[in-house]
Amino acid sequence: MSQPCAVAKCNRTSRGLCDCCTQHLCLQHLSEHNASLISQLNPLTDELNALGDRFSTLNIQEVVGGCRQKLEEWRMDCHQKIDCLFERKCQELDRLVDKKVKKQQEEILQIKSKIAELIRDQETTRQDIDELTSTIHHLKQQMDKIDQTCLTITTRPLLIDDKLICIKEATEHELDLSTLSPHHKEICRPAGSRKVIYSNDQFLLMHQKPNLCLVDREMNTVKKVLWTHGDIHDMCWSATLNRFIVIGGRIVYLLDENTMSIDNVQTIEERNWVSCTCSDTFLFLSRNGRDSSVMKFRLLPLIELVMKWKSPNICAQAEYIQDILYNGETLGVIIQNKSERSLRIELRSADTLDCIWSLRFDTVCNENLGFRCCLLTCDEWLVVDYETERLLHITKYGKLKTTIKYNASPYRVNLFANMLVVSTTNGVNFHKI
């Protein structure tokens, strides 16, 4: 039996069934439907052509530039180690020969002194002559050996293992923190130590009164330096400067991980800074209180101010910025409302500070100790809630993903290698993830 056309207000009888949308259509509407589908191919063709143009202009050297730089740094480091070994062995060789020569020179001086003494006394014996002759003959033999360089150098060929360098595509996986394992390592801190922590690819920086310490991936303290600059509000890492940035009181400092030298950044005005974060090009600093603000500084050639945002443009008068964290042209901003005792995280543009999304938590803020966050894989976020001893896992779209109950009050959190590092009142806990 014939069926009517599925198009509304069409009284014609269907002439065919469209397999893609399972609709019975008359001949006219079937033709229009087919033409509509075909017309949608044109924009797809345009997009594909645009992608083809991008691939044709793709500069492979620019894409792999950063990776090649790492390989070049590795090569230079290996060459430097070989040069250092070569210099040490040359010095060892010089010391060995110098020691022999010096010994012979001392014996010659002793013989000269003996002969001078005999001549001065005008008295000698055949035995004296024989002993002196024998000693001089022995010295000649030793000098011959030195001239012949009777040293043996044993070398082994330098074996290069191809596995020293591993190249693989970087892939990220979303973390599941709902079943966070108990910490497998804890570093206790002396009373008065600051709870701030931060890491780069190699080290975790932490405060163990009275020192700033670098901890490696095996959780061993490898370097430390005396910290005499008072309170520490925040830390971050600048790959561009190859320095840790430390906010100490009202002053911003740079810490060199190699020399552990601490330098005051003279071009940044002394203010009540509360948090810091870095992109490849800029340093962002924030202040809280009645004049909450975010300031943007260019890193090179000098650290200088280029932009400032302040309340009420970024938050209300009764709101304080607790933390900022850079991620791919955006800033994660933790804001506390003092009058409502509420807390929220916002994702904002790093260029304009326009809000992209906002998420309010159910936390009641009774204290102003500073709520902090860290960046996880896949552009997700983790916020510490010390009020209720929780970790709040946030998706990249600004949704609460998981609430993790913690066994102590967490104050700082950091993703370091394959570990989640949580700073608490008494120490720093390391969790494998």
Per-residue pLDDT tens over the stretch 273-324? 999 999 999 999 998 766 789 999 999 999 999 999 987 778 887 888 999 9
pLDDT at 39 over 90: no
Per-residue pLDDT tens over the stretch 375-431? 999 999 999 998 899 999 999 999 999 999 999 999 999 999 889 999 998 899 999
Alpha helix locations (H) across 12-40?
A: 27-39
Is residue 368 very low, low, confident or very high in pLDDT (cuts 50, 70, 90)? low
**Secondary structure class of 6 (helix, strand, coil):** coil
**Cα–Cα distance measured from residue 65 to residue 63, given in angstroms and rounded to the nearest whole number:** 6
Is residue 236 very low, low, confident or very high in pLDDT (cuts 50, 70, 90)? very high
Per-residue pLDDT tens over the stretch 314-337? 888 788 899 999 998 999 999 998
Q: What's the CATH number of domain 185-432, 2.120.10.30, 3.40.190.10, 3.30.420.10, 3.40.50.2000?
A: 2.120.10.30
Residue 414 in contact with residue 421, Cβ under 8 Å?
yes
Name residue 348's amino acid.
R
Give the pLDDT confidence score for residue 129 in this predicted structure.
Answer: 81
For residue 349, which of 360, 357, 341 has the smallest C-alpha distance? 357
- Cα atoms in the 13 Å half-sphere on the side-chain side of 259: 8
- Span 170-195, mean pLDDT? 87
Is residue 149 very low, low, confident or very high in pLDDT (cuts 50, 70, 90)? low
Residue 111 DSSP symbol: H
- The structural domains of the chain, with segments of one domain joined by +, span 1-57, 77-124+131-148, 185-432
Q: Give the CA angle between residues 55, 59, 60 to the nearest 5°.
A: 95
Residue 412 in contact with residue 197, Cβ under 8 Å?
yes
Residue 252 in contact with residue 273, Cβ under 8 Å?
yes
